[in-house]
Amino acid sequence: MLWRITYFLVWQIAGGGLGWWEAGPWGAALGAALAGWAWFVWDLLRGVRVLRWLRTGDLADVPAMRGIWGEAADRARRLLRKQEALVRDSQDRLQEILAALQASPNGVVLLDAQGRIEWCNQMAASQFGFDAQRDVMQSIGNLLRNPEFTAYFAAKDFSSDVVLEGRLSTPSRPVRISVHLHPYGDGRTLLLSRDVTALEQADAMRRDFVANVSHEIRTPLTVLTGFVETLQTLPLSADERARYLGMMAQQAQRMQSVVQDLLTLSRLEGSPLPGMAEWTPVQSLMQRCEEEGRALSALLTQNQPRTHEIRFPSAEVLRSEGDIAGVPAELQSALSNLVNNAVRYTPAGGSIAVVWERKEDGGAVFSVQDTGPGIAPEHIPRLTERFYRVDRSRSRETGGTGLGLAIVKHVLQRHGATLDISSTLGKGSVFSVTFPANRLRGFALQG
């Protein structure tokens, strides 16, 4: 400011001195006035340069000058640089937040006060069929046409969530999406969604498990109680007593089978994974499976005019298949269960083909094909659930507990194997087990 006053006075003195030189006192006054106006115009032009630069805000084009306008331009330049740094920092933080929301396993949608989409992550786009770019500023109500969501959104009561059917849901593979709205800011809304299909299935399985265990044990207990009361209250002949005792033994055996299978499942879930130290010949496993399958077939068809046609690989072929690593009792239980199921559900006169085949990658496939009644597609995904039965009466007639395939699934998972099921109604089913190469050794190439 002192320099500005000094500079103004210098202009006044120079103008007054020049006017005095030319015209005396009146010339000095006129010269000083003209010099003041000249300085004012010059200073105004400097100010206009600063204002013009401030309108653009280009830090690369800061006017170079001294004085108060130079200081104003320099201070403005510093403030702009600081503001740009703050904006960059805010943008970086915003991008980090959006990246975190993008990586979320749940769907995230930001809605404005009118319910229009401001932003959504890829998970939400996948769950609801949105396009993250195209659908920006589109109304959520126009894109998510679900009566339950429409009522939930209109009620403005977001204290709880609403569960909707997923867009990819099918009768055989239901998909359930939980949606929860959270108001924030100035009328805006945060929509969070998550796939609760597995949770709902687990809850349904838990309820079914408790109900099925209660039913499976209560039914034989009711029969046993009835027979005990009969034996206690009625005079019976020796033949009648023997028949009732036989029925009681049968029901007791049924309960024992259920309890034994439950204990087996509990042991499998709680025990450590099998290692690679114990090896069992594939031939011995297949031989025991064949013995059990043929014995069960003979029992089930003893009063039938025809028996099952059961085909296993020959002993000569199986000798070259080497060994498999794992717990022998568990592997035997799983493979025999598949063979026995095929025998149980294949009518007398039908055929069961058991195959052991090596793969190019060193793994192996154990498959059981039958000519039974087949399984409808909607039942196949649930066959390995505990107590799940396609035909309850048929399962009980054949002596099944409803836990066999659940045990098979756990045994195979523990040994790194996978179970694949394919079936055609009226034609039969194929149950295939694929063992990884690291579980097998000693395979001898044929030919």
Q: Are residues 355 and 390 in the same domain?
A: yes
Asked whether the predicted pLDDT for residue 447 surpasses 50, the reply is no
Residue 2 in this model has a pLDDT that exceeds 50: yes
- Where does 156-237 have alpha helices with state H? 197-233
* Beta bridge mates, 109: 120, 191
Residues 211, 280, single domain; the answer is no
Say how many C-beta atoms besides its own lie within 10 A of residue 114's C-beta.
10
Query: What's the rounded mean pLDDT across residues 104-128?
Result: 92
> Which residue range(s) make up the domain with 223?
205-271
The predicted structure's pLDDT at residue 27: 67
- pLDDT, greater one: 171 or 179: 179
Same domain as 446, residue 314: yes
In the numeric block, which tokens belong to residue 404? 């066999």
Whether residue 200 is contained in a domain is answered as no
Quick check: is 429 in a domain? yes
The answer to whether residues 279 and 372 belong to one domain is yes
What distance in Å separates the CA atoms of residue 185 and residue 187, rounded to the nearest whole number?
Answer: 6
**Which of 69-78, 324-333, 353-362 has the least mean pLDDT?**
69-78
Indicate the pTM of the whole model. 0.54
Share of the chain above pLDDT 70, in %: 83
Distance of CA 185 to the CA centre of its chain: 31
Query: Is the pLDDT higher at 38 or at 425?
Result: 425
Residue burial 229-264, b: 16+ Cβ < 10 Å; e: rest: eeeeeeeeeeeeeeebeeebeebeebbebbeebbeb
Position 27 in a domain: yes
Asked if pLDDT for residue 175 goes beyond 50, the answer is yes
What percentage of the chain exceeds 90 in pLDDT? 34
Q: How many CA atoms lie within 13 A of 371 on its CB side?
A: 11
Q: Which tokens in the block code for residue 444?
A: 């001898």
Over residues 96-113, the mean pLDDT reads: 89
Considering the domain boundaries, does residue 115 fall inside one?
Answer: yes
285 and 322 in a single domain? The answer is yes
Average pLDDT, the chain: 83
Q: State whether 441 and 383 are in the same domain.
A: yes
Residue 417: the pLDDT is 94
pLDDT at residue 308 is higher than 70: yes
pLDDT confidence tier of residue 30, bands split at 50, 70 and 90 = low
Please tell me whether residues 280 and 264 are part of one structural domain.
Answer: no
Structural domain tally of the chain?
A: 4
| Cβ contacts of 227 within 8 Å, gap of 6 or more | 244, 245, 247, 248, 251
Whole-angstrom Cα distance, residue 385 to residue 208? 10
CA separation (Å) from 184 to 39, 95, 139, 187, 255?
Answer: 57, 20, 18, 6, 57
Distance CA 370, CA 345 (A): 9
Instruction: Verify that 154 and 216 share a domain, yes or no.
Output: no
pLDDT band at 81 (very low <50, low <70, confident <90, very high): confident
Residues 404 and 371 in one domain: yes
Q: How far apart are CA 94 and CA 184, in angstroms?
A: 17
Query: How high is the pLDDT of residue 431?
Result: 96
The C-alpha R_g of the chain, in whole angstroms, comes to 43
Is the predicted pLDDT of residue 350 greater than 70, yes or no? Answer: yes
Assigned token pair, 415? 């040994």
Whether residues 267 and 280 share a domain: the answer is no
Q: How confident is the model at residue 446 (pLDDT cuts 50, 70, 90)?
A: very low
In sequence order, the 6+-apart residues with CB closer than 8 A to the CB of 444 are: 320, 322
Is 415 part of a structural domain of the chain? yes
Confidence of residue 264 (pLDDT cuts 50, 70, 90): confident
- pLDDT above 60 for 34: yes
Residues 155 and 83 in one domain: no
pLDDT of residue 90: 84
Q: Are residues 84 and 134 in the same domain?
A: no
Domain CATH number, residue 291:
3.30.565.10
Query: What are φ and ψ of residue 286, in 5° steps?
Result: -65, -35
Phi-psi region of 173 (alpha: psi -120 to 50; beta: other; left: phi over 0): beta
CATH no. for residue 220?
1.10.287.130
